[in-house]
Amino acid sequence: MTDYECKMTRFPEPVLGKKARPIEVIDESIRALAERMKEIMVDNKGVGLAGPQAGVDLRIFVVSTDGTRENAKVYINPKIEPGGGLTENEEGCLSLPGIWGKIKRYKKCTVTATDLDGNEFTEEGEGLLARAFQHEYDHLEGIMIKDRLSAAAKLRARRQLRKLQAESSGPGE
């Protein structure tokens, strides 16, 4: 059993740019990781958080569309099936503070995942929930919103991305 060091992870941390590994065994360390991820999500006023955002390259995310710990649900080794046509909405990311942009996502999304007791379940989402599923799943694939921005939005984000890179390599690390 491993205890995962779990902390809010921001661009340009390498874990954010690579595909996460499947979780083989759901044990106390995974349950503790899920609880810590809920805490990080709520503390940072998010509606979702994926393993890589917590500095862990595992296929797990938590989502709570109202941003509360009580309503946060854990998804282990999720698979998604988006559908229902595309819609464009303003989106931000806890791992890219200060960067917002219009991101195209599917209006609906079905996720099939495993819960903390090892049971597989399927859930359908629309609107914000569907968007959160797709956003967090992207993190498991090593994709961030900066990768989905339009060319103009990427230009607008350039300064903030450079600032985040400078902060990560600056003094005090």
List, for residues 94-114, the tens digit of each pLDDT value: 999 999 999 999 999 999 999
State the average pLDDT for the chain: 94
What are the chain's domains? 14-169 (3.90.45.10)
| Catalytic annotation present for 136 | yes
Residues in the chain: 173
Q: Is 57 exposed, middle or buried (0-12, 13-18, 19+ CB in 10 A)?
A: middle
Express as a percent the part of the chain with pLDDT over 90.
92
- Catalytic: which of 136, 141, 167, 173? 136
Q: What is the average per-residue pLDDT within 118-147? A: 97
Q: Say if residues 92 and 100 touch (Cβ distance below 8 Å).
A: yes
- What is this structure's pTM? 0.94
Q: What is the average per-residue pLDDT within 24-28? A: 96
Residue 128 CA to residue 64 CA, distance in Å, equals: 10
Token code pair at residue 69: 């710990």
Q: Does the pLDDT of residue 82 top 90, yes or no?
A: yes
